[in-house]
């Protein structure tokens, strides 16, 4: 009788442990947010951004094009940017991550991502603050987590590679978005409105600048 009682207690403890693990996984780790598949093509690049600018009001002269306008980046645009960064970085990272999406609230970008680790689906979050610094759009890494496990910035930035639109300050944890490689185009301000990032841009393009763009 005592042996049966001990077995019953042991099984009850095992059941409680399994239920606790299952509840912890579902509440903190299991993917619940709908995301964009990582295999979706990303068209976020410098020429696409310049094309958007060219459709805004420009002041033309025989020597240069001057502009003072704004560029709107939606949550979809920024999701495409992060998908492109992951796919361009390395196979190991892109094989782990299965999808992501960006939510914009106030001046923060919340990057929600799904990954599979040893076949187990997980959901994580990365938070960036957006600001204009030295003529660039800077996304500063604020925090990240998978469930209750914090993600160090060094783990994130060690896996990412620059492209024609984005560079990195890995020491400070910054993603730096440049509208173009033309020095005279500067980002003056960044605001958030209706879940969009509004980038205020001021600058000018000389004929030589236009030739460079055409050659590229």
Looking at residue 3, its pLDDT comes to 61
Domain boundaries, the chain: 1-30, 36-215
Looking at residue 91, its pLDDT comes to 65
pLDDT digits (tens, 9 = 90+) for 23-72: 888 888 899 999 999 988 877 766 566 666 655 555 555 566 777 778 88
pLDDT digits (tens, 9 = 90+) for 115-165: 998 899 999 999 999 998 888 889 999 999 999 899 999 988 887 888 777
How many CA atoms lie less than 13 Å away from 25 in the CB half-sphere? 9
Gap between the terminal Cα atoms of the chain: 84
What average pLDDT does range 172-181 have in this prediction? 81
Label each residue of 191-204 as H, E or C.
Answer: EEECCEEEEEEEEE
pLDDT digits (tens, 9 = 90+) for 102-112: 999 877 999 99
Looking at residue 173, its pLDDT comes to 93
Looking at residue 2, its pLDDT comes to 60
What average pLDDT does range 94-100 have in this prediction? 89
Q: Cα separation of 215 and 154, whole Å?
A: 36
Q: Which of 145, 156, 146 is nearest to 120 (CA)?
A: 146
Looking at residue 174, its pLDDT comes to 94
Residue 215: band (very low, low, confident or very high) from pLDDT cuts 50, 70, 90: very low
Q: Cα separation of 167 and 189, whole Å?
A: 19
């Amino acid at each position: 009788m005592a042996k049966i009682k001990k077995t019953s207690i042991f099984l009850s403890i095992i059941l409680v442990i399994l239920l606790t693990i299952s509840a912890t996984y579902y509440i903190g780790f299991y993917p619940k947010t709908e995301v964009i598949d990582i295999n979706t093509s990303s068209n976020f690049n410098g020429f696409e951004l310049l094309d958007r600018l060219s459709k805004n009001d420009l002041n033309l002269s025989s020597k240069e094009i001057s502009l003072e306008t704004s560029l709107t980046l939606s949550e979809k645009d920024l999701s495409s940017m992060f998908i492109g960064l992951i796919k361009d970085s390395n196979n190991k990272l892109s094989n782990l991550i299965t999808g992501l999406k960006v939510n914009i609230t106030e001046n923060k970008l919340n990057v929600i991502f799904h990954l599979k680790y040893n076949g187990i689906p997980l959901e994580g979050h990365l938070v960036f603050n957006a600001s204009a610094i030295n003529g660039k759009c800077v996304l500063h890494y604020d925090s990240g987590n998978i469930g209750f496990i914090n993600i160090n910035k060094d783990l994130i930035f060690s896996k990412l590679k620059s492209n024609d639109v984005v560079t990195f300050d890995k020491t400070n944890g910054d993603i730096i978005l440049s509208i173009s490689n033309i020095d005279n185009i500067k980002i003056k301000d960044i605001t958030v409105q209706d879940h969009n990032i509004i980038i205020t841009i001021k600058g000018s393009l000389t004929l030589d600048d236009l030739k460079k763009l055409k050659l590229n």
